[in-house]
Structure 1
Amino acid sequence: MRHGEPKLAGRLLGHTDCAVLPAGIAACRAAAAGVKVDRVVTSDLRRAADCGVAIATDLSVPLHVDARWRELDFGQWDGLATADVDAAALGRFWDDPDAAPPPAGERWSALLARVAGALDAIDGPTLVVSHAGAIRAALVAACGFDRRQGWAFDLPYGSVLSLRLWRGDAPAAQITGLRA
């Protein structure tokens, strides 16, 4: 699940730890109502963690905080509106986030590696409350998509993407639903 709408929506939030709007928490709670999971795992950033706490409470399941589910670190761009970032540099980043990461920021491959590790740690039915970039990295890791395919998914705030994962030598996953 992508976290609810944050107070600083429309910015490159990355590791910026801003609060989520009450309506964002309510939207996540509504989207998770009736979901059958054994636990909730959440990023340690407030915009995801606050949603995760509310959902775990509603579902009466344990909550685990895992910083590997954090958003990509946008470095010097973190917290800025895209209009406040050099357009050419931003374009290079969107085109190839490994070759042109944000200044002092994280490369796509680093995000992919940490999210793949977090995915490997999941055992049993789990709801993960995270961020759009981390969810896209999970799709790439689990489904074998290339980066562009992962970024093609529209992930609105509070949306739920269902994956069924099979363990083995090669990544295997089935996308079973996306709902907002």
Structure 2
Amino acid sequence: MTAFALHLLRHGAPETPGLLMGRTDGMPTVDGIAACTAQARDLGIERLIASNLRRSREAAEAIGAATGLALAIDPRWRELDFGDWDGQPSSAVDRDAFGRFWDDPDANPPPGGERWSSLVARVSAAIGDLAPIPTLVVTHGGAMRAALHVLCGFDQRQLWAFDLPYAARLSLRVWPGEQPSAQIAGLTP
């Protein structure tokens, strides 16, 4: 089967940076939306998707207005739910518990939060439903890492090695199928 381009774009900076923003939603900054719009120029995309969280959705709406593409909302591309930690600065979280989470987020999810494997499962399902056409998904850092796990087989430690700042674009060449695979075509911070 022929590969297709999949671009994963992390939302732009939120008005209140530095928080563990999973299900917590926040307003994106004007500059954050502009940075995302700039990252989406000249990609030749035919499909535009965004997480249902405002910080992703508003950037995607601006991209849709610039490209003339209709926007599809898919909540499977949301960030990991940080449970009791959601909306808090990392400095407010017990350091040992936070360290255990980063070491193994599936065995040590945030209290009341989502396991890594749940995030991977929903992102995997979203990838499996993609039409094999050039696509841009405006999403979150955790979902982007989950996609790298699903498509490229990176393990947990390798995933943390990727710096995915606000408005970073990860471009992949995806070979669809029962077990899709991909090649990284670019990472633009």
TM-score, with structure 2 as normaliser: 0.93
Which residue matches 2:125? 117
Q: How does 1:75-86 map to 2 (within 5 A)?
A: 75-86=83-94
Which residue matches 1:164? 173
Which residue matches 2:22? 14
The alignment status of 1:65 with 2:73, answered yes or no, reads yes
Aligned-pair identity (%): 54
Q: Partner amino acid for 2:56?
A: A
Which residue matches 2:6? none
CA distance in 1, matches of 2:63, 2:99: 36
Question: Which segments of 5 or more consecutive residues in structure 2 lack a partner in the other structure?
Answer: 1-8
Contact 2:128 2:180 (C-alpha < 8 Å) held by counterparts: no
Cα drift, residue 151 of structure 1: 2.1
TM-score, with structure 1 as normaliser: 0.97
Cα drift, residue 77 of structure 1: 0.2
Question: Which segments of 5 or more consecutive residues in structure 1 lack a partner in the other structure?
Answer: none
CA distance in 1, matches of 2:151, 2:100: 26
Residue among 151, 164, 168 paired with 1:155:
164
**More contact order relative to length (CA 8 Å, sep ≥ 6):** 2
CA distance in 2, matches of 1:9, 1:43: 18
Contact 2:173 2:183 (C-alpha < 8 Å) held by counterparts: yes
CA offsets, 1:25-78, max 9 Å, x none?
Answer: 011111111111111100000000000100011111121000000000000000
Superposed CA RMSD:
0.9
Contact 1:144 1:171 (C-alpha < 8 Å) held by counterparts: no
CA distance in 1, matches of 2:55, 2:123: 18
Contact 1:39 1:56 (C-alpha < 8 Å) held by counterparts: no
Which residue matches 1:141? 150
Which residue matches 2:183? 174
Q: Partner amino acid for 2:162?
A: F
CA offsets, 1:60-105, max 9 Å, x none?
Answer: 1121000000000000000000000000100010011011100000
CA offsets, 1:98-135, max 9 Å, x none?
Answer: 11100000000000000000111111111000000000
Q: How many residues align?
A: 180
Which residue matches 1:37? 45
SS in 2 for 1:115: helix
